[in-house]
Amino acid sequence: MPLDSVRVLKIIRIKHVIERIGLSRSSIYDRLNPDSPRYDASFPRPISIGISAVGWLEVDVDEWIKSRVAQSIK
């Protein structure tokens, strides 16, 4: 298998999600909340990494960003 096709799974915390996406913490959680008018079903879901800690798979965040770029150039 070629090295460029191998992806290392990395969990990133909210601070890095904020930096990567450019949304505030509250905007990110609004996109995750089905009751919010800003809900986005395609937004990456956090995963539990401890009793009260969550993180996001970096690959999921990257794919979401790519999908937003693709939508904006249509």
Q: Kindly report, residue by residue over 18-56, the tens digit of the pLDDT.
A: 999 999 999 999 999 999 999 999 999 999 999 999 999
Q: Burial, 22: exposed, middle or buried (Cβ in 10 Å; 0-12, 13-18, 19+)?
A: exposed
What pLDDT was estimated at residue 14?
A: 97
- Which is higher by pLDDT, 74 or 37? 37
The yes-or-no verdict on residue 5 having pLDDT over 80 is no
The pLDDT value given to residue 1: 44
Q: Once rounded to an integer, what is the mean pLDDT over residues 50-70? A: 96
Distance between CA 3 and CA 33 in Å, rounded?
Answer: 37
Read off the pTM.
0.84
Contact by Cβ (8 Å): 65, 22: no
